[in-house]
Amino acid sequence: DGGITQSPKYLFRKEGQNVTLSCEQNLNHDAMYWYRQDPGQGLRLIYYSQIVNDFQKGDIAEGYSVSREKKESFPLTVTSAQKNPTAFYLCASSLDRGRLKAGELFFGEGSRLTVL
């Protein structure tokens, strides 16, 4: 079945370490997104990509990095520069139908990162 796979589901990190969260989709979607979810807040956009080898910063990109070497894959690295990385991270994808239209969103199951 088509969908989005995130891994790992749970991750623990020591302060000062970089960690990479995986996101893979087999939906043939052009657009992929990374969101961060904190208790009591709406999802906030970290990075997004509309095409291979191109990505843009979202609202809270500081301390994060991404790559888009393949259409199917959009990994997120949480660097040691991210001051408060403990959060729930969600990857999503959609058909990018153009700037004035929105495609249906597909989400992964999320990755919960805890900094020890």
Partner 1 sequence: KNEVEQSPQNLTAQEGEFITINCSYSVGISALHWLQQHPGGGIVSLFMLSSGKKKHGRLIATINIQEKHSSLHITASHPRDSAVYICAVHSGGGADGLTFGKGTHLIIQP
Give residues in contact with partner 1 (CB under 8 A).
31, 33, 35, 40-45, 48, 50, 56, 58-59, 88, 90, 92, 94, 96, 99-110, 112
**Closer Cβ to partner 1, 52 or 80, answer by number:** 52
Rank residues 58 and 63 by Cβ distance to partner 1 and give the closer one.
58
CB of 41 to partner 1, least distance (A): 6
Query: Measured between alpha carbons, how far is 64 from 20 in angstroms, rounded to an integer?
Result: 10
DSSP states of 33-71: EEEEE-TTS--EEEEEEEETTEEEE-TT-TTEEE--SBT
Rounded Cα–Cα distance for residues 5 and 32 (Å): 12
- Whichever of 55 and 72 has its CB closer to partner 1, that residue is 55
Q: How far is the CB of 28 from partner 1 (least distance, A)?
A: 16
Provide the token pair at 45.
């956009």
